[in-house]
């Protein structure tokens, strides 16, 4: 009798994109899970113990360079996706089937998903910066879950659904990250910039929630009877988007709405 695990394994092997089977870190999910395990161990065990009796590191120059790297990388990803058919009008923003052929344009787009996966891996470094600077209040459950789940979903995106309507989440997320890392870069310029940027901090969280709302709406297209989109993977992806939205909403309510209420009471 076929077990549930065997059934799931067979299903995933059948649905896997054969074009990426020999690509770096794409043959199995295990290396990704291993990297995330190392990340969690560093974040929750090794680095807090290492920093316990040490002064915070001054990493301003490194953080500026890191933020510029993220801004540039996200801009390249947007250009990569947009020039793979979206700008030319070959793709629609609604239900867009995935081209699993070896067409050069389809392969070029798929490579964009592969690089997006590596970009999500580099985003894990942000948490390490927080701990080395003793900004442990920023290492929230939301922050850690968001980074770990984003990297996992980026691997799934490249392994199974690299192309078609899966481009929209990558485009939206890259745009939001350009805004976010631009904010971080400017904030690293000093207290005067931090003061100017203060009104924009809650707006960034709102922008994140708008992004997740748009992604949920966009995902609904796959349930149209005439849509040949990746329905099983959307069913896996949607709960994560809802969870992330709820976590961002709770963060916004606790960080900004509560402060406004307290100020009104005063």
Task: Measure the CA–CA gap between 146 and 136, rounded to whole angstroms.
Answer: 16
Task: Measure the CA–CA gap between 65 and 247, rounded to whole angstroms.
Answer: 29
Catalytic residue selected from 114, 146, 147, 177: 146
pLDDT at 260: 59
Q: Is 146 in the active site?
A: yes
pLDDT at 12: 75
Q: List the chain pLDDT tens, one digit each, 266 residues.
A: 456 666 666 767 888 999 999 999 999 999 999 999 999 999 999 999 999 999 999 999 999 999 999 999 999 999 998 888 766 666 777 888 899 999 999 999 999 999 999 999 999 999 999 999 999 999 999 999 999 999 999 999 999 999 998 999 999 999 999 999 999 999 999 999 999 999 999 999 999 999 999 999 999 999 988 888 888 888 888 999 999 999 999 999 998 865 555 555 45
pLDDT at 6: 65
Q: How far from the centroid of its chain's Cα atoms is residue 214's Cα?
A: 15
pLDDT at 263: 53
Residue ranges of domains in the chain: 16-44+58-265
* Contact (CB, 8 A) for 148 and 30: no
E-only strand ranges, 126-190: none
DSSP for 44-96, written as a single string: IIIHHHHHTTSPPP--HHHHHHHHHHHHHHHHHHHHHHIIIIITTT-S-SS--
What are the C-alpha distances in Å from 211 to residues 175, 181, 189, 233?
10, 16, 27, 19
């Amino acid at each position: 009798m076929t077990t549930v695990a065997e059934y799931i394994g067979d299903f995933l092997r059948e649905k896997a994109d054969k074009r990426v089977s020999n690509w770096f870190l794409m043959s199995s999910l295990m290396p990704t899970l291993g990297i995330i395990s190392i990340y969690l161990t560093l974040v929750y065990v090794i680095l807090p113990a290492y920093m316990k009796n040490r002064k915070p590191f001054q990493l301003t120059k490194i953080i500026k360079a890191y933020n510029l790297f993220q801004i540039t990388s996200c801009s390249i990803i947007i250009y990569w996706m947009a020039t793979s058919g979206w700008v030319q009008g070959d793709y629609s923003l609604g239900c867009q089937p995935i081209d699993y052929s070896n067409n050069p344009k389809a392969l070029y787009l798929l490579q964009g998903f592969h690089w997006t996966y590596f970009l999500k891996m580099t985003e894990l470094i942000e948490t390490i910066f927080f701990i080395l600077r003793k900004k442990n209040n920023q290492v929230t459950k939301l922050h850690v879950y968001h980074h770990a789940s984003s990297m996992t979903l980026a691997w799934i995106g490249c392994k199974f659904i690299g192309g078609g309507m899966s481009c929209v989440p990558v485009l939206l997320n890259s745009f939001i990250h350009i805004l976010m890392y631009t904010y971080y870069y400017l904030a690293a310029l000093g207290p005067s910039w931090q003061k100017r940027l203060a009104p924009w901090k809650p707006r960034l969280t709102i922008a994140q929630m708008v992004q997740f709302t748009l992604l949920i709406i966009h995902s609904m297209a796959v349930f149209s009877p005439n849509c040949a989109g990746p329905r099983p993977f959307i069913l896996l992806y949607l709960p994560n988007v809802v969870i992330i939205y709820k976590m961002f909403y709770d963060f916004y309510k606790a960080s900004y709405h509560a402060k406004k209420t307290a100020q009104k009471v005063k």
